[in-house]
Amino acid sequence: MRVRAATAADLPLLEELWRTFAAEVPPSAHVEVDEEQELREIAGLVRDGIALLAEGDDGTVQGFALAHRTGARAGELTDLYVVPAARRAGVARALVHDVASQLKEEGIAHVELDVQTSNDAARSVYARWGFQEHRVVLVAPLDALMSRLEPSEPGDQLGVVFVQTDDFTAVERAAKAFAPRIGSSRVEVDAPVGGWIAVRDTVAAHDPTALRRLTREISARLGSVVISLGIEAGAVVRLAALDRGSVVDEYLSVPEFHGPLPPGDVIALAANPTVLRRLTGADPAKVRAVVRTASSPADLPPPLEHAAAIAATLGLPAVDR
């Protein structure tokens, strides 16, 4: 295998390789590629930048690399591609080595490249070669961004704690004792319905952190099963199930609503039908059908309607504002 400089005569070959590369690793959905502009840039790099081709011993083309200077001491590796049949044979390494050698001869000290976050294989290779993240580009669909930035209406907020007991006095005492700690002076405790007592607090209804603290405190004090239902940012529904003060299940209708999460955390924020059946007696099939997650609030019923359906599925008292 040898690496050589590409010439103007190689442009048709480079264009073909680039199209193959683009088909194999398509750009992100938000990126609109102008093919003619891309091909003009390739021609420009062949003329004024660094354009390399890797060839096998039989003369077949195995890959290409393109790079150019971006500043007094910086350069960019814009393209690197190896055909599938030649992978894992050191072709990419040889191409990047020669790119780096030429950049160094030009007095360049650092080289950067762009890679999609989903391209785990490439990122792993680049990390072994010494590339490190120095900036992160974040992308958001405008419709989703605007929906999350819209001011929440008061009616879009909800925070209710359901305690599995008929002991109204004990629940009222625990709720009123803890309410001042979250800055509340008014807490309402409903009469038992179906073995559950609902606790409503205006502060907890508008502050998810306060709702979590109120839920944990009541569950720990009474040694009871307690379930909270809340609406966050007027858009997503969160459920927390606790037993004697410990969280045994947690659900968020759009797991990554507040930001990207590791895959394991996304899965963990889906409701567990087995646990909820043990705590409430709910039908697991109905739990899976109703207490479901989505990638966007638009893919689910309106939050108050969704919270009400969840409460009904679990046999909790009716949810309202």
Identify the DSSP state of 36.
Answer: H
Asked if 208 contacts 201 with a C-beta cutoff of 8 angstroms, the reply is: no
Q: What is the pLDDT along the chain (321 residues), one digit of tens a residue?
A: 899 999 999 999 999 999 998 888 777 666 777 888 889 999 999 999 999 999 999 999 999 999 999 999 999 999 999 999 999 999 999 999 999 999 999 999 999 999 888 888 899 999 999 999 888 888 887 877 776 666 555 556 789 999 999 999 999 999 999 988 888 878 899 999 999 999 998 888 889 999 999 999 999 999 999 999 999 988 999 999 999 999 999 999 999 999 899 999 999 999 999 999 999 999 999 999 999 999 999 999 999 999 999 999 999 999 865
DSSP assignment of 169-232: HHHHHHHHHHGGGGT-S-EEEPPPBTTBEEEEEHHHHH-HHHHHHHHHHHHHHHT-EEEEEEEE
Domains of the chain: 2-142 (3.40.630.30), 152-314 (3.30.70.1270)
Q: Alpha-carbon torsion 169, 171, 174, 178, what sign? A: negative
- Predicted confidence at residue 118, as pLDDT, reads 80
Tell me the whole-structure pTM to 2 decimals.
Answer: 0.56
CA–CA distance, 249 with 280 (Å, rounded to integer): 12
Q: How far is CA 73 from the centre of its chain?
A: 35
CA–CA distance, 22 with 88 (Å, rounded to integer): 20
- Predicted confidence at residue 148, as pLDDT, reads 61
- Predicted confidence at residue 48, as pLDDT, reads 94
Q: Alpha-carbon torsion 305, 309, 312, 317, what sign? A: negative
